[in-house]
Structure 1
Amino acid sequence: MISRAVRTGAAALVLAAALASGARASKPELRAEVEAGIDALYRMDFDDAARHCDRMRVLEPGHPFGEFGHAALLWARYTYGTEMGDDTLIKPFEAQVDRTVETGKAWVKAHPGDAEALMALGAAEGIMARMYVTRRQYLRGYWSGRAAMKGTRAAVAADPNLIDAQLGLGMYDYYTDLYPRMIRALAKVILRGDRARGIERLKLVAEKGTWAAVAAKMLLVEISLHDPYGARDPQKAVKLMEEVRAKYPTSAMLHSAQLAALYQAGRLEEANKGALDFVRKTEDGRYRRFDKPKGMVFLGASLWALKRPEDALAAYRRAYEEKPRNRWAVWALIRAGNVLDLLNRRSDAVQHYKEALSEPDRWGYKEYAERALKRPFVLEGEFTVDPR
């Protein structure tokens, strides 16, 4: 649950959340660049988004907008662009976050009470926290998250009408209440937030926010799909994803989030149809070929749920055939082994798990393959699409 939660909306969530401050920027040209940059990121056009961040630097020299944009893009390229498969991006990302913080502090010193700069400064600390949590470094993520709240709360104090800033407060409230319930070590050190208050803040941004509205909706989707304490509502997630995809119909990232909502809401025929459409788009160039294994994993899950085990097995195997192999391809091989176990074909399943273990373990999947090697896989409920 935790890893899935922090990855909601992938790249676009982070940049939209932080650059939302630009929506209130005094220069119309700067607002236009922020809008265009966020749109490019939702479309997964990283190069175009980078160009807009460069223009932010030119339009407002010394302001943290442009610097933060580049930090968010490096995070996006790592978490979504490479599916956490290129660790060489981490040090440049950390360096860019440090540059953003230095720039932000210098600007705020020269322009006390600048709510937008304070928000961008807080977001820079926040994006570092998200990287730590994505890499399962939860305590470091918590301390960075606390540092992020200093700038975010200062931004709200400076301008209570900056609705988009409520996104960071809502995330902090929700996750600092959620994590200690699920990771005992955190319960001893974390100052707990308030899940209910966090959700209400996210709803406020979703309804009245400017550039952060979509990001807030994506967080609400994640909560509606995975919250274990009463807020789970997959049908609500489906509705939210319909709204988001209407705005960004060509985004592979958002398409996959919609498939997750449909699958968990039990709308299996729609999920299956949507997965087939996703795969076709990776094959005809509308989406990246790199994303095909992800589409095949969604397809395999829907086929299994529709009681078509051999077709599900074929879909998972096709996902693994794609090269270069990303985390979805490796996970598909483990899932293929699971299907074989459920079909009482243990020897074939074992070969799949062994092959999965031969792949680099960049994503923490080794434990799943090792567990399945020790004893045959037993399915409880339906397949999860991705344990991360």
Structure 2
Amino acid sequence: MRQRMSLLLTLRFDILGLHRTDRSFFCLCGTREKERNDMTRWILLLSLSLGFALPALAGDDAYQKLSRQGMELAYNLRFREASSIFDRLIQLDPAHPRGYLLQAVSLYYRYQLEENHQEIEQQFLDFSAKAIRVAKQRLRDKEDGLDALFYLGTAYMYRAAYYAWENSWLKAYWYGKAGIASLEQVVKRDSSYFDAYLGLGVYHYYTDILPKYVKPVTFILGIKSDREKGLAELELAATKGRDSRAEALLFLGSIYLYTEKDYSQALRYFQTLATRYPQNPTFLLFLGENYQKMGKSALAVETLQNLLVDERARQFPVLMASAHFRLGNVYLGLKRYKEAIEQYNLTLDYTERSTGNVRWAKALAHLNLGRSYDLLGERTKAVEHYKQVRKSDHKHAYALAQERLKHPLPAKATGSLTSKTFDEIIEVYREALAKTKANGTSRRGRLPELTYHIATALYERAAYRSAATKYERVLAMENVPTPWIKPWAHFYLGNCYRKLGEVEKAKVEYQQAYRFEDEKLRAEIERIRRAM
């Protein structure tokens, strides 16, 4: 019987908030969220999604029982106790890759979640390399057959994920290719080895949604991509896999939450996982964000608060920082600014306690503290926090902070955005626009942004023809000081035309938007093109 260790501990950059940024104040409340515009993060998202669970050794019942005991400890984030058991597995059978591989998996997630990175990092490299050597030897000795091949592929994939995390892209792709090649051999020899479809599905899906200008790299490296095939393979693993069901549900939930943006579908997967594994708090982070994106703020608050009081979560500063940051975002969207500020300050507290990679949280917490104080009309405090956003911690958060230092929006206007009363938003921005025009040329730099926000409010109200007129006005302006406005104006103008049934005009605008070097924008356009 094949049994594999579920990666119920996955914390991708999406969840931790590394990508999280915005293009307008609509993003402030989650209405129009954008991810960080950095090509390497697209590749990282792909590579980090290639880790999966581990096959088990068929045979000795005592060995199997000990394996399951270690895995259960790992499920509950009790890594050190699990590690002791995996060491015992190695002692019992040093010629089998299973113990080494389980140890490597545990270390990989400890490396992401815990402190003492250098020590854990080296241990992961040693154990994963040993698992590969032992798996290859078993294949040479013609032992275990498909299971040994599956072990080998899995070990390769964890190495790929590690090197992607470290920005070593060529190594990440090399190990990823080797892992996929092993898994493809598995299903070629036995198409009913359904657990192998998990890794294949993730790989095929994420390589296909990379922006088009990255595709030549994947072609040169021999990477095959097929979005529909990938989704089908993941569904196959989720419904027919013996031990891959939890991982398949996790990746499907993440895909529908972050990429496909089908929040109802994503919710179905995450609710299943949270119910099936109530002792693992990491699923609550996904579930809380899912509720937020669906506009179910009360459920989002309740879910994230449950995570924050979980004793297992408290062991990991990076998880706690992310949860406090997410809860702050929910409160910000509810216009509960003082509670948002409290959560962002707690985020900062956890970044101070951690020696891990939580600089992103520090930058984004300061950025949103600045926004929160702006919404309260406390400009001096807002400026203090904007100034604390460091470029070295998060380049895009830094750019947004610099923009808000130069061009703050009226607190009345930004506050109204969080309530989604778009008529009020339009009126407030029109008042601000009139005042800006009245102030003469010294304030004319704000005209494009204010007009853009009026257009976006009209778009959200489904007044597509009026919104299109406003976006066209923005695009006709010269010397627009804020670089993101025109690309996204083209994009939303295209959306307006598409909603109005003017598909050819929409295609022209999408093409214009695609010319700008904005990775997230290009990904959004490609997603729409696939659906057209």
TM range (shorter): 0.7 to 0.9
Measured after TM superposition, the shift of residue 356 of structure 1 is 4.4
The answer to whether the 8 Å contact 1:179/1:186 transfers is no
The answer to whether the 8 Å contact 1:336/1:352 transfers is yes
The answer to whether the 8 Å contact 2:331/2:337 transfers is yes
What SS does the corresponding residue of 1:179 show, helix, strand or coil?
Answer: coil
Q: Deviation per CA, 1:326-366: give whole Å up to 9, x if none.
A: 527514233323433455545433422443439xx5xxx33
- Kindly indicate whether residue 301 of structure 2 is the aligned counterpart of residue 272 of structure 1: yes
Q: 1:161 aligns with which of 188, 192, 203?
A: 192
CA distance in 2, matches of 1:314, 1:182: 42
Bigger CA drift: 104-113 or 207-216?
A: 104-113
- TM-score normalised by length of structure 1: 0.82
Measured after TM superposition, the shift of residue 312 of structure 1 is 1.0
Q: Give the equivalent residue in structure 1 for 2:99.
A: 66
Measured after TM superposition, the shift of residue 196 of structure 1 is 0.9
**Structure 1's 139 and 356: CA in aligned 2 closer, same or farther, altered over 3 A?**
same
What SS does the corresponding residue of 2:224 show, helix, strand or coil?
Answer: coil
CA distance in 1, matches of 2:379, 2:134: 58
Q: Give the equivalent residue in structure 2 for 1:193.
A: 225
Q: Give the equivalent residue in structure 2 for 1:256.
A: 285
Q: Deviation per CA, 1:34-75: give whole Å up to 9, x if none.
A: 433333222111123213322432444311111111111121
Q: Deviation per CA, 1:133-189: give whole Å up to 9, x if none.
A: 233444432222101112212222343332111111112111221235474673563
Structure 1 unaligned spans of 5+: none
CA distance in 1, matches of 2:196, 2:93: 20
CA distance in 1, matches of 2:59, 2:367: 52
Letter in 1 for 2:65: A
CA distance in 1, matches of 2:67, 2:245: 14
Q: Give the equivalent residue in structure 1 for 2:109.
A: 76
Letter in 1 for 2:172: G
Q: Deviation per CA, 1:308-329: give whole Å up to 9, x if none.
A: 1222122111221234145275
The answer to whether the 8 Å contact 2:53/2:247 transfers is no
The answer to whether the 8 Å contact 1:35/1:211 transfers is no
Letter in 2 for 1:208: K
The answer to whether the 8 Å contact 1:115/1:156 transfers is no
CA distance in 1, matches of 2:280, 2:70: 14
The correspondence of residues 165-184 of structure 1 with structure 2, limited to 5 A, is 165-181=196-212, 183=214
The answer to whether the 8 Å contact 1:18/1:120 transfers is no
Q: 2:342 aligns with which of 305, 314, 318?
A: 314
How many pairs were matched up?
363
CA distance in 1, matches of 2:147, 2:269: 27
Q: 1:208 aligns with which of 203, 215, 240?
A: 240
Q: 2:272 aligns with which of 243, 260, 281?
A: 243
Bigger CA drift: 253-262 or 187-196?
A: 187-196
Measured after TM superposition, the shift of residue 369 of structure 1 is 4.0
Letter in 2 for 1:226: Y
CA distance in 2, matches of 1:351, 1:86: 32
Q: Give the equivalent residue in structure 2 for 1:333.
A: 366
CA distance in 2, matches of 1:234, 1:269: 16
The answer to whether the 8 Å contact 2:195/2:237 transfers is yes
Larger radius of gyration, structure 1 or 2? 2
The answer to whether the 8 Å contact 2:238/2:244 transfers is yes
What SS does the corresponding residue of 1:335 show, helix, strand or coil?
Answer: helix
CA distance in 1, matches of 2:97, 2:188: 19
What SS does the corresponding residue of 1:192 show, helix, strand or coil?
Answer: coil
What SS does the corresponding residue of 1:357 show, helix, strand or coil?
Answer: coil
The answer to whether the 8 Å contact 1:173/1:198 transfers is yes
Bigger CA drift: 113-122 or 37-46?
A: 37-46
The answer to whether the 8 Å contact 1:29/1:59 transfers is no
The correspondence of residues 100-179 of structure 1 with structure 2, limited to 5 A, is 100-111=131-142, 114-179=145-210
Letter in 1 for 2:96: H
Q: Give the equivalent residue in structure 2 for 1:48.
A: 81
- TM-score normalised by length of structure 2: 0.61
Q: Give the equivalent residue in structure 2 for 1:35.
A: 68
Q: Give the equivalent residue in structure 1 for 2:254.
A: 222
* RMSD of Structure 2 on Structure 1 (CA): 3.1
Q: 1:367 aligns with which of 384, 395, 398?
A: 395
Letter in 2 for 1:257: F
CA distance in 1, matches of 2:286, 2:88: 30
CA distance in 1, matches of 2:377, 2:164: 37
What SS does the corresponding residue of 2:59 show, helix, strand or coil?
Answer: coil
CA distance in 2, matches of 1:192, 1:7: 17
Q: 1:288 aligns with which of 315, 333, 339?
A: 315
**Structure 1's 107 and 350: CA in aligned 2 closer, same or farther, altered over 3 A?**
farther
Letter in 1 for 2:101: F
Letter in 2 for 1:317: N
The answer to whether the 8 Å contact 1:334/1:353 transfers is yes
- Kindly indicate whether residue 130 of structure 2 is the aligned counterpart of residue 99 of structure 1: yes
Measured after TM superposition, the shift of residue 208 of structure 1 is 1.6
CA distance in 2, matches of 1:139, 1:175: 17
Q: Deviation per CA, 1:248-299: give whole Å up to 9, x if none.
A: 11212122222122222222110011122222335xx774363432221121
CA distance in 2, matches of 1:352, 1:206: 45
Measured after TM superposition, the shift of residue 226 of structure 1 is 1.2
**Structure 1's 69 and 175: CA in aligned 2 closer, same or farther, altered over 3 A?**
same
CA distance in 2, matches of 1:69, 1:244: 22
Letter in 2 for 1:272: V
